[in-house]
Amino acid sequence: MPTTEDICRYRDQPLRFFARYVGRRPLAHAVILLAVLGAVTCSVSTQYGVKRLVDALSQGPGQGGGPWLAFTILVSFVAADNLLWRVASWVASHSFVKVTGDLRSELFRHLTGHAPGYFADRLPGMLTSRITATSNAVFQIENMFVWNVLPPCVATIGAIAFLTMVSVKMAAALIVVAAIVMMAMFRFAAGGRPLHHDFASKAAIVDGEMVDVIGNMALVRAFGGIAREHSRFDTTVAKEMTARRRSLLYLEKLRLTHALVVVVMTLALLAWAIALWREKRATAGDVVLVCTLGLSVLSATRDLAVALVDVTQHMARLAEALSTLLSPHELEDHPEASALVPNGARVTFEKISFGYPDGKRVFASFSADIKPGERVGLVGRSGGGKSTLVALVQRFYQVQNGRILIDGHDIVRATEASLRNAIAVVPQDTALLNRTLLENIRYGRPDASDEEVWDAATAARCKPFIDNLPRGLDTIVGDRGVKLSGGQRQRIAIARAFLKNAPLLILDEATSALDSESEEAIRDALENLMMGRTVITIAHRLSTLRNFDRILVLQGGKLVEDGTPEMLMRSQGVYYDLVSRELGRLVEQTA
């Protein structure tokens, strides 16, 4: 499997990125190339066959087998031409599709290797649309090169070679004109690259906006935002349409210029051929050959010019997508990383310092030690660093200084897979995939049997509501679990943690989404889940920490209090104030 450095080096090199995937199937692409070369050669040669036939017919009947020989040659070229195109098309229908499959799989693997912070700064719809855009661009570039770029080039070379049979001067003149036209078209096409880049970027933004709104329709409707979103989307689409219009009008200027050149050159070649015929320096077949080959060359330059512009557009989309997708991974396994083997799950923070990329400093020389099997609650006002500390334990971000150890093993030097296996998480906002309940619970341990999944679901008190679902564990939960209530989603997350059976358990107010009846039913389940494990809990309701071993009070990224709940209440410090405020709110709510 290629490393991130292998693929990231193509971020600013779309042509090399394209060649990377083509080069994986050299035999298939060689067959396609040879078949197309042969087909175009036969196609151009059919015009020579027509010349032979015209010359044979102009001699009149009774001149031996001349017409029939010319007829046989012409039919052979036509048959070979069609057969070779079909061979090329058949092979391409397999190899081109496999190229796009390889590309999407590799880009998806690279994308999923990014840290959570990468996705927090980007719209999911925009990222997925760029993978699709990259795949489509490579597919179109490959198709256009084989069917629209290569044939005109070969046809031009072949046509000029046949023209030398009639007049070397005429062939030389056509070479000069074709070269000038091609160079002008190349430069003209390259000049439109910024317009094509702008269109590609704005098209990706439109996709991202659509996915963002559709994924949050409940929020949009709850706040009466339909009309606002329609207006916002219309503005976004208008920008994309303006960019696309500029791109297309640029292409039309190219096509118009080329059309004028074709008309002038066709008339000049035909007049030149007729003059040679009048001087008896060319046959009637030569006049036909010059006319058809001249048109072929000029048409080929037109087709090539159009194809080059289209390829330029697709290359622009490819380059734009790669610049976003192929950014290096923020966190990777250390070259000397080894598997973490937990032994009680002791968690130690050794003078860690951390700040977010935007410059916000959270911790400076923070230290704490959580013993194996301890239940520790993280409390404090918003912005104190609770969520950041939990994210650092999971190595979603990299500390700038200091170390985080699990059983004495620096997590920076632990393989990511072993670190993930050592930690089970029950988040406040449960994430579910649009799959069955069985698959969502089994996500905690993919090799678990159906019976083990059922045991975990039962332990998390999921069985009562699963039994009432139409297909039980085989029920599809919908996008982000939309078909389940908040409490049901939370219990699925707890079942997943039961199944994973990791020594270190992280809870982010795991009962916050439950109603009072469900919360009471699941409290015992959580007690069983925490038993024998090291537990770190982010607590928003301090009443849930009554039976915890320790409380760490964070304020401004500093550990301001550390002790048992009873000890901190007696000291009447920050924790005491937080508990008092919570009790005051409860009294007001019940009044």
Task: Summarize the confidence of residues 475-496 as an average pLDDT.
Answer: 83
| Inside any domain, residue 334 | no
Neighbour-count burial for 238-260, b at 16+ CB within 10 Å, e otherwise: ebbeebbeebeebbeebeeebee
Asked whether residue 455 carries a pLDDT value surpassing 60, the answer given is yes
Nearest of 249, 124, 140, 127 to residue 199 by alpha carbon: 249
Q: What are phi and psi of 521, to 5 degrees?
A: -65, -30
Q: Which residue has the tokens 């919570």?
A: 582
Q: Which residue has the higher pLDDT, 181 or 33?
A: 33
Residue 432 CA neighbour count, 13 Å, CB half: 31
CATH code of the domain covering residue 565? 3.40.50.300
Question: Which of these three, 325, 360, 389, is where a domain ends?
Answer: 325
My answer on whether 387 and 294 are in the same domain is: no
My answer on whether 377 and 247 are in the same domain is: no
Q: Which residue range forms the structural domain that includes residue 352?
A: 347-586
pLDDT in tens, 490-544: 888 888 888 988 899 998 876 655 555 566 666 777 777 888 899 999 987 787 7
My answer on whether 49 and 192 are in the same domain is: yes
Q: Which residue has the higher pLDDT, 393 or 325?
A: 393
Q: What are phi and psi of 136, to 5 degrees?
A: -65, -40
Q: What pLDDT does 2 receive?
A: 47
Task: Summarize the confidence of residues 69-93 as an average pLDDT.
Answer: 86
- Counting every residue written for the chain, the total comes to 591
| Inside any domain, residue 124 | yes
My answer on whether 261 and 351 are in the same domain is: no
| Inside any domain, residue 338 | no
My answer on whether 293 and 384 are in the same domain is: no
Provide the 8-state DSSP code for 114: S
My answer on whether 307 and 163 are in the same domain is: yes
* Beta-sheet pairing, 361-370 with 347-355: antiparallel
pLDDT in tens, 206-245: 877 887 787 777 677 777 788 888 888 888 888 888 888 8
Give the confidence band of 1 by pLDDT, cuts at 50, 70, 90: very low
Task: Summarize the confidence of residues 448-454 as an average pLDDT.
Answer: 90
| Inside any domain, residue 568 | yes
Q: Which residue has the higher pLDDT, 452 or 278?
A: 452
My answer on whether 309 and 408 are in the same domain is: no
How many domains, in total, are found in the chain?
2
Task: Summarize the confidence of residues 461-485 as an average pLDDT.
Answer: 84
Tokens of 566: 């009873």
Asked whether residue 19 carries a pLDDT value surpassing 90, the answer given is no
| Inside any domain, residue 340 | no
My answer on whether 289 and 359 are in the same domain is: no
Question: Which of these three, 260, 292, 325, is where a domain ends?
Answer: 325
| Inside any domain, residue 333 | no
| Inside any domain, residue 425 | yes
Asked whether residue 431 carries a pLDDT value surpassing 60, the answer given is yes
My answer on whether 234 and 358 are in the same domain is: no
pLDDT in tens, 257-280: 777 777 777 777 777 777 777 777
- Side chain identity at residue 321, one-letter code: A
Question: Which of these three, 325, 360, 394, is where a domain ends?
Answer: 325
Average pLDDT over the chain reads 82
Give the confidence band of 87 by pLDDT, cuts at 50, 70, 90: very high
Q: In what order do the strands lie in the sheet with 361-370?
A: 361-370, 347-355, 401-406, 409-410
User: Per mean pLDDT, which range of 105-109, 216-220, 482-486 is the poorest?
Assistant: 216-220
My answer on whether 69 and 139 are in the same domain is: yes
Give the confidence band of 254 by pLDDT, cuts at 50, 70, 90: confident
Task: Summarize the confidence of residues 177-182 as an average pLDDT.
Answer: 74
Task: Summarize the confidence of residues 353-380 as an average pLDDT.
Answer: 89
Nearest of 464, 447, 549 to residue 499 by alpha carbon: 447
Using CA of residue 337, residue 338, residue 339, residue 343, what is the dihedral sign?
negative
My answer on whether 407 and 315 are in the same domain is: no
| Inside any domain, residue 331 | no
Give the confidence band of 55 by pLDDT, cuts at 50, 70, 90: low
pLDDT in tens, 140-174: 889 888 888 888 888 888 877 877 776 777 778 77
My answer on whether 285 and 153 are in the same domain is: yes
Three-class SS state of 572: coil
Taking each helix axis from N to C end, the angle separating 124-144 and 284-325, rounded to the nearest 10 degrees, works out to: 160
Asked whether residue 409 carries a pLDDT value surpassing 90, the answer given is yes
Asked whether residue 292 carries a pLDDT value surpassing 90, the answer given is no
Nearest of 36, 29, 148 to residue 96 by alpha carbon: 29
Task: Summarize the confidence of residues 357-380 as an average pLDDT.
Answer: 89
CATH code of the domain covering residue 69? 1.20.1560.10
